[in-house]
Amino acid sequence: MDGQQQTIYPRKNWSSFIVYNCSHPSNQKLTVDLVNSETGSYLHQFKWLQDNEIGSLDERWNWLEGWTSLHNNKKPYAVHYTRGGPWFNEWQDVEFAKEWITEKNNYLLKKFS
């Protein structure tokens, strides 16, 4: 995105939409010091959790623009612009760009009116 080098690793896009059970004992490991000292891959891959401690969300909550539509024709609840979003001039024609721009414009109208 935006010319940045991308790395492929397990669970890469899972962290773009998360619901935490803050009372789960394993999540108690996430202290300020741990979060500030661990690598991005540690956090993005949920390495403090066992596989059976990671649940799932309906794919529509983490709709990966340019990817999810290839196999899911339902309407998304939340869109993750993995390649670049409509806030970049060169990404005005991506999936759901018009919806994003409409929401942005509505927000700005309310904020400044």
Q: How far apart are CA 107 and CA 111, in angstroms?
A: 6
What is the pTM assigned to this prediction? 0.74
Residue range 21-54, pLDDT digits in tens: 999 999 999 999 999 999 988 999 999 999 999 9
Is residue 1 pLDDT above 60, yes or no? no
Closest CA to 15 of 50, 52, 42: 42
